[in-house]
Amino acid sequence: MSWKKFGLPLFVASAVMIPLGVTAPASASVSAEATAGHTSKRVVGYYTQWSGYDRNFLVSDLIKNGTAAKLTNLNYAFGFLDEAGKCVSSDPWADYQRPFTAEQSVSGKADEAGQPLAGNLNQLKQLKAKYPKLRVSISLGGWTGSKYFSNAALTKKSRAAHVKSCLDMWIKGDLPGAPAGAAAGVFDGIDLDWEWPASEGNAGNVVRPEDKQNFTALVREYRKQLNKLSWNTHRRHNLTAFLPADPVQIDKGFEVRKVFRDLTFATTQGYDYHGSWDPITNQQSAIDGPAGDPSTSEFSSQVTIDAYLQRGAPRSQLVMGVPFYSRGWTGVGPTNNGLFQPATGAAPATYEDGYEDYRLLKPQLSKFQVHRDNKAGFAWLYDGNTFWTWDDPIEMKRKARYISDRHLSGAMIWSLDGDTSDGQLITALYSGLR
């Protein structure tokens, strides 16, 4: 399969704490953060910058569908880097300029002309006022935003300048064209989503062999500057990272044991194991490798989690990713109910062929037959021609049990805009975590 696609889904138009004190263990923050409801697990969700466009999924919808009350952490995706490695907004209008009406806003009050902060960031600030235990981080990079991470991490000087620019912009809230500190208090931390150090990601990304060691040094620089900022402001700041599923990419790009010393926690890719870039159908988020899989290498959550644990990641800091979307193929023959069969291409979909939100696929369920592999832990839909991977509430509960049974830190969701208006997936996931 092509690992070029092995990353977070990106912008549909073009198509994741150490408490104050350097010496405190990062795992000490678990009980402080993961206090929502019945579970002691972290529940981390990505809210995408672009979900307010075609999807019309606003920050206020996180309240309406019951998601906000179940999250411990929200990652806002994505901030980008320029060629020099400095932090920039990839969409200022969505981030901090767009005005919201009273009906759209979290507070129920319309934005006013000339106010210091608008856009999604102001909505997140309002969300935090309603849910003060919720921790919000800016996620940097992503599939199309990781081009210049290697430049930022290259030298001691470039790392220091990069981190300072990102903390100035996103943590201190000094946004271009806005009053100083306009976005202060929106973000509680930084989420690094470099896809991928020393490995090919999106076409055109800068990749260097020394990215592996430089990523460790970059994380160290973030921890150093965040700790200094925390002491000065008396506010603790999170530092997290989104990490790949492929053990080959792990070994090429990450000094796992060293990196986790400075991270609050890290989230693992628990999806995109297969997709329409593959010529045959397969699972995209199985817990274990299924029997009969023709792939030359097994990709599964079990493989990924074991890889990180074997390389020194603490269970208390390891968060497993789950998808709120499906991957699909068309032109699929009926053998084996469509599983492991040749396809003619990506299944037609709403925003991107081969990719469909759960909330949009569920109303079409009557057209399909649901199939489950209860041993490997995955499901799929098939109608005689079209094949979709299928993560529904049953599979969310299965993943939650796996996370709990393995004593992992929690679950991470890509992405929150894929759920239904009554929060079926988040409810099932949350209820299964122990």
* Domain range list for the chain: 3-325+392-432
Q: Specify the amino acid at residue 220.
A: R
Phi, psi of 99 (to 5 degrees): -85, 145
Give CA angle at 327 (326, 332), nearest 5°: 125
- How many residues are recorded in the chain? 434
Which is it for strands 325-330 and 355-357: parallel, antiparallel or unpaired?
Answer: antiparallel
Residue 41, token pair as written in the block: 């697990």
Phi, psi of 20 (to 5 degrees): -50, 130
What is the DSSP-derived secondary structure letter of residue 65? T
Which is it for strands 73-81 and 42-48: parallel, antiparallel or unpaired?
Answer: parallel
CA of 219: how far to CAs of 28, 123, 326, 344, in Å?
Answer: 18, 29, 32, 43
CA nearest neighbour of 203 among 351, 2, 48:
2
Residues 340 and 280 sit within 8 Å (Cβ to Cβ): yes
* C-alpha 275 chain-centroid distance: 18
Residue 416 burial (CB count, 10 A): 25
Give the model's confidence band at 4: pLDDT under 50 very low, under 70 low, under 90 confident, else very high.
very low
CA distance 180 to 169: 10
**Tokens 């999924």, located at residue:** 57
Is the Cα torsion angle 273, 276, 280, 286 positive or negative in sign?
A: positive
Average pLDDT over residues 327-332: 99
Give CA angle at 396 (390, 402), nearest 5°: 120
Whether 162 has a pLDDT exceeding 50, the answer reads yes
> Which homologous superfamily is 3-325+392-432 in?
Glycosidases (3.20.20.80)
CA distance 268 to 273: 12
CA distance 218 to 317: 19
DSSP 25-78: -GGGGHHHH--STT--SEEEEEEEGGGGSTT---TTHHHHTT-GGG-SEEEEEE
Average pLDDT over residues 367-390: 98
CA distance 397 to 376: 14
CA dihedral 52, 143, 45, 263 (to 10 degrees): -140
* C-alpha 44 chain-centroid distance: 8
Residue 176 burial (CB count, 10 A): 9
Q: Specify the amino acid at residue 130.
A: K
Q: What integer best gives the mean pLDDT of the chain?
A: 92
CA of 38: how far to CAs of 70, 322, 341, 432, in Å?
Answer: 10, 20, 42, 10
CA dihedral 211, 10, 170, 109 (to 10 degrees): -170
Is the Cα torsion angle 418, 297, 266, 193 positive or negative in sign?
A: negative
Each residue's pLDDT tens digit, 9-48? 333 322 232 222 232 333 333 333 443 445 699 999 999 9
What is the DSSP-derived secondary structure letter of residue 280? B
The continuous run of DSSP H or E covering 193 comes out as strand 189-193
CA distance 148 to 166: 14
Average pLDDT over residues 277-293: 98
**Per-residue pLDDT at 7:** 38
Average pLDDT over residues 387-407: 98
Average pLDDT over residues 91-118: 98
Enumerate the H helices of 171-273 as residue ranges: 211-233, 247-253, 256-262
380: helix, strand or coil: strand
CA nearest neighbour of 323 among 1, 16, 2, 90:
16
Each residue's pLDDT tens digit, 178-229? 999 999 999 999 999 999 999 999 999 999 999 999 999 999 999 999 999 9
**Per-residue pLDDT at 233:** 81
**Per-residue pLDDT at 38:** 53
**Per-residue pLDDT at 232:** 83
